[in-house]
Amino acid sequence: MIPTETKKKIITAVDSLFDQQIEFLQDLTRHPSTRGNEQSAQHFMADTLRTRGYEIDQWNVNVDDIAHLPGFSPVIGNYEDAINVVATHHSQQKTGKSLILNGHIDVVPVGPLDMWDRPPFDPYIKDGWMYGRGVADMKAGIASNLFALDALASLGLAPAADVYFQTVVEEECTGNGALACLQRGYSADAALIPEPLGETLTSAQIGVIWLQVHLKGRPVHVLEAGSGANAIEAAIPLISALHRLEERWNRAENRHPAYAAHNHPLNLNIGKIEGGDWASSVPAWCVFDVRMAIFPGQDIERAKNDLEETLLSAANESDFLKKNKPDIIYHGFQAEGYSLADHNNENTPLAISALETAHQFVTGKELPFVPTTATTDARFFGLYADIPALVYGPNSDAIHGFNERVELESMRRITQSTALFIADWCGLEQTDPSLPQF
């Protein structure tokens, strides 16, 4: 147990560094680290961590190294510049439990710039919130992880166990960055991922399947539209069929226990559609992108079969599509759900208890347990490496939307709780004998 006086010093240390933490978050957010453009942000992180004396491992994710592993998702685009960064703190004593501090550096696209109040990669502060693309999801969490360690270091303290600080790519579309860390041998007794989910502990998360549906029509001039086959319009009944499947999967009798009280935990999203070549030609092709959620424990291959059968059955209702079957292509997320309650590792209740204690000391409130209808990289640690993964981060708003923002005082509390959690979970060792003993 960490003495109360030491806990108070740690909280004060976070406060004393908080202006620097805000400045760091702004600097990191200025790097427009959308998928395929993460390199500058990762070099920035590697340099930042190197100046703090950590051992740095920086590498390009190699698909061939991970394609055979459980949890791998089909890749999108080129991986030549998909860079992961891991900084390692080597404990001198190794008397505590080891820890992974994981965060993703990639951010989603910004969308139309005219729908932002200000440029999305020029972060600014207003009424206690910082705004910008990625500032909440999840660069504020990366800042919390970093400055939790900095707060300990400012007191002449360090974790008494090995800590692996990870910034990874691909979380927003596959999760293969986190998987590559596991393949490279990084393991620990627990993992902490500060996703911006409102100072709650994520008790469960859904899985996600991405797929594309390709349709081909028959192009004719619109004056002969009745003799053609409109590929865009052919997509409409297929999308309706998918929504009926969504409704069936969400029925109370089909829900995972963690979502028993949630009316609609599984969400279908038609995230992108394109087709045709000319306004006065009946479109000869159409492609639409599908995101569908699944429950923890729901077999992913069976779910894919259900999706395929739904699409093909709907296609059979069309005379044209019956002869021109839709092509179904999987790309991106093939993610299983994950529930902490289903994780039987002996460290799971211990890690949860340590985080609860830290949260309560900082906030004076009990830590809420909340299932999320999103997915995170926690599944890799929990499902494939038997590492309890705690998802706990700051309060946010409009992530993946316009004017994304994070509440700065919430980030402060998360940093304080994280520092106390590290101190409890890993234990502490002295790094500067000239400073008072803790």
Q: Which residues are catalytic?
A: 106, 171
3-state SS class at 315: helix
Residue in the structure block whose two tokens are 């860390």: 181
Identity of the amino acid at 220: V
Instruction: Spell 156-191 as b/e; 16+ CB within 10 A means b.
Output: bbbbbbbbbbbbbbbbbbbbbbbbbbbbbebbbbbb
How far apart CA 237 and CA 127 sit, in angstroms, is 46
How far apart CA 336 and CA 228 sit, in angstroms, is 41
How far apart CA 360 and CA 355 sit, in angstroms, is 8
Torsions phi, psi of 424, nearest 5?
A: -75, -50
Q: In 197-343, which residue ranges form alpha helices assigned H by DSSP?
A: 231-249, 300-315, 319-323
Specify whether the CB–CB gap between 159 and 152 falls below 8 A. yes
How far apart CA 268 and CA 38 sit, in angstroms, is 28
Instruction: Spell 59-93 as b/e; 16+ CB within 10 A means b.
Output: eebeeeebeeeebbbbbbeebeebbbbbbebebee
Residue in the structure block whose two tokens are 């739904």: 310
